[in-house]
Amino acid sequence: MLVPFILLGQNLTFSDGPYIFIKKDRLVEKSLINGKVITKDLEINKYDTIYYPAKSSFSNVKKIAALSDIHGQFDLLITLLKNNKIIDSNLNWSFNKGHLVIVGDVFDRGDKVNQILWLLYKLEIQAKNMGGRLHFLLGNHEYMVLQKDLRYINRKYRFSAKSLDLKYDELYGKETILGRWLRSKPTIIKINNTVFTHGGVSKKFIKNRGVDFDEINDLMRNNIDFSPKKMKSRDYYKLYNSEESLVWYRDYFKEYGDDLSEKDISEILKNLNSKHIVVGHCPYDEIIPLYNNRIFGVDSSIQKGIYGEVLFIENDQFSRGKLNGKLIRIESDAQ
C-alpha cells in the first residue's frame, strides 16, 4: 500500500530509511520505498551491535573542522563537505588524519535526518581507518528525540513512523543500530586546547559538576532514556537540562543570553584548562568569533537549507570554510 506524503498541497509518495532493528539472532531492516514498507532480514554481523564510548580528550591533532545544527539538511551538508575537501565526490572521507566535529543537532526540522546519520556513521568508520576521527556530539535536539520530545520533527517522519507502526523515537530506540550508536556519543570533548559542546559551559555547571569530561559524558549517556517526567523529579534535570546545561546554554551570545564579560570567559577557560570553546545552538549567518577568538559559534544557519560554513583550526589558526570552499582567515582582535 502506498502511503501519501502531503507536501504543499500535493499528494506524493516518498522513501525513507533504512531503520535497522536488532533481534536476538538477526537484524531486521525496514525501509519505505515509494511509500511502500519493505522489510528484510540481515545477518546479525552485518553491523556492529555494541558501541563503546570513545575517550573525551584528544591531543596532537594537526587539523580540525567543526560545524553544527545541520537539522536534516543533507544536500547542503554534502555541498559544504565536498567543497571544503572533507569528503570526496563519492561521499567518502578525504580529510585524512583530520578530526571533524559535528557539534550537535542533526535531528529535527529538515526531512533528511536519517540520510545524514547514516553518512556520519560511515564517515566515522572511514576516518578512524585513515587515522582521523569524526566526533558526533549530542545536542539538545538529539536529547529531545531520544527522550520522546517530538515537537520539531519534520512531518515526513510522522508519516514514516505511522507507516512502520511505531513512534518516531522508537526508530532510534535501544534495539536499533543507529539508536545504540547514538547512545554511545559524547556531549563534550576536548581536542588540543579547544573544548567542543553544543550549547556551552557555564560557571554554574563547572561549580556543580566539575570538569571531568569522561564522567560527565557517562552520566549524560546513562540518563538518555529517562522520560522527561521522571527526569524532572531528579536533581540531574536542573543541571543537565536547564538553561545552564551543556546543550541549552546560550549566554556567550548577547542576542540570546546574558553576554558574559571577558573576566567570566577567562574564568571558564581557566577551569577547563583550555584556550577556546566551540559551540552551536545559536544561529547566525556565518561562523561567529567572540571574546578575542576564545569563543566560536559554528551554527551558521545550515538548517535554512541555503548556506553554511565550517570552522577550520590548524596550528592554532582559525578559518571559515565558506560553502563554495573559499577559506577566510579569522583574525584575532589582538593582532
Question: Is 11 part of a structural domain of the chain?
Answer: no
Worst-scoring range by mean pLDDT, 26-40, 171-185, 237-251, 257-271? 237-251
Strand partners, 41: 28
Q: Which domain holds residue 172?
A: 48-330
CATH number at residue 290: 3.60.21.10
Residue 187 above 80 pLDDT?
yes
Q: Indicate the pLDDT class of residue 11, thresholds 50, 70 and 90.
A: very low
Is residue 51 over pLDDT 50?
A: yes
Look at residue 189 and tell me if it is in a domain: yes
pTM: 0.94
Is residue 29 assigned to a domain?
no
Residue percentage of the chain with pLDDT more than 70: 91
Taking alpha carbons only, the member of 137, 139, 258 closest to residue 202 is 258
Please report which residue ranges of 140-261 form alpha helices under DSSP H.
140-146, 155-163, 177-182, 203-209, 213-222, 228-232, 235-240
**Would you say residue 115 lies in a domain?**
yes
| 28 occurs within a structural domain | no
Laid out side by side, the sheet with 317-321 consists of 133-136, 99-102, 63-67, 310-314, 317-321, 327-330
148-183 pLDDT, tens digit each: 999 999 999 999 999 999 999 999 999 999 999 999
Q: How many CA atoms lie within 13 A of 307 on its CB side?
A: 10
Report yes or no on 283 lying in a domain: yes
Q: What is the DSSP string of 101-143?
A: EE-S--SSSSS-HHHHHHHHHHHHHHHHHTT-EEEE---HHHH
Residue 205's Cα: distance from chain center in Å?
A: 21
| Three-class SS state of 217 | helix
Low-confidence winner among 135-149, 198-212, 235-249, 300-314 (lowest mean pLDDT)? 235-249
Is the residue at 98 inside a domain? yes
* Model pLDDT for residues 99-126, shown as the tens digit of each residue: 999 999 999 999 999 999 999 999 999 9
Q: Which long-range contacts (CB under 8 A, 24 or more apart) does 182-185 make?
A: 182/117, 182/138, 182/142, 182/146, 183/51, 183/146, 183/221, 183/224, 183/225, 184/51, 184/52, 184/53, 184/54, 184/221, 185/53, 185/136, 185/137, 185/138, 185/142, 185/221
Question: Do the domain assignments include residue 162?
Answer: yes
Mean pLDDT score, 202-209: 92
- Using DSSP bridges, classify how beta strands 317-321 and 99-102 pair: parallel, antiparallel or unpaired: unpaired
User: Looking at the 3D structure of the chain, how many domains does it have?
Assistant: 1
